[in-house]
Amino acid sequence: MVYFEMIMKQKIFTFSGVDGAGKTTILNEIRRILEDDFNLKVVELRQRPSILPILSSIKYGKKIAEKKTMEVLPRSGKNSSKLSSYIRFFYYLSDYIFGQWIFYFSDASKGDIVLYDRYYFDYIADPKRANIIINKTVAKFFYKFIIKPDVNIFLYASPEVILRRKQELDFDSIVDLTSNYKDLFCEMEKNKNGKYICIENINKEATIRKIIGILEGGRYLV
């Protein structure tokens, strides 16, 4: 009963964005403010609970696999197999479905706030990033089986601004991916399962003020 009450009180915020949108920079600053100014305990996760290791660790071992992943540019995978894609997708989906509950009943979960640097939305809006080929409708369908975060932030900027920050994506990819995420967040917002907010990230300080205002205004930091 105590664990259930803790889970219900715990707030989950996610941050999404194409590479170069400033997502990680903003998330790190939001975490600092929540910890220092609001005296909240924050737990940070990268995209998923990661109770299950990345699939390549089966072949290379965890440390080497993680190192290889960090060295590879986003969206550079060459997988063209639908079978391989669905195996990979359901493997990571199980990490959300089961891993989230294992995480929330573990000592690591004992925080007031959980921040996700990326979330399940990548599998819907940008499956190539996970080196999978999957029907968007399928990925959307299985979202109903995982925990819905309280607030989801999608950060974006114009292709010109993003390319000045990073050169990992080309102009057209930035346009297409930004449109995919915006459309998805607009659709999700209509379902009333949490807040889905798109914010243009041009000025870091202004973006941070807006996000903190949203969190305070919604009484998520109480």
pLDDT, position 61: 58
Q: Give the Cα separation of 32 and 36 in Å (integer).
A: 6
Q: What is the pTM of this model?
A: 0.87
pLDDT, position 5: 44
Average pLDDT of span 11-32:
95
Banded model confidence at residue 195, pLDDT cuts 50, 70, 90: very high
Range of the domain at 147: 2-217
Q: Give the Cα separation of 75 and 33 in Å (integer).
A: 32
pLDDT, position 39: 93
Q: Give the Cα separation of 46 and 148 in Å (integer).
A: 16
Banded model confidence at residue 74, pLDDT cuts 50, 70, 90: low
Per residue in 96-133, pLDDT (tens digit) is: 998 888 877 765 556 689 999 999 999 999 999 888 99
Q: What is the CATH number of the domain that holds 118?
A: 3.40.50.300
Mean pLDDT, all residues of the chain: 86
Burial bucket for residue 219 (CB in 10 Å: 0-12, 13-18, 19+)? exposed
Per residue in 158-186, pLDDT (tens digit) is: 999 999 998 889 999 999 999 999 999 99
Helix axes 204-217, 23-36, angle to 10 degrees: 50
Q: Give the Cα separation of 22 and 142 in Å (integer).
A: 28
pLDDT, position 89: 94
When divided into structural domains, the chain yields a total of 1
8 in a domain, yes or no? yes
178 in a domain, yes or no? yes
Q: Give the Cα separation of 142 and 120 in Å (integer).
A: 10
58 in a domain, yes or no? yes
| Both tokens assigned to 220 | 């998520």
| Both tokens assigned to 60 | 């290379």
Residue 71 has pLDDT above 80, yes or no: no
147 in a domain, yes or no? yes
Average pLDDT of span 185-189:
95
189 in a domain, yes or no? yes
222 in a domain, yes or no? no
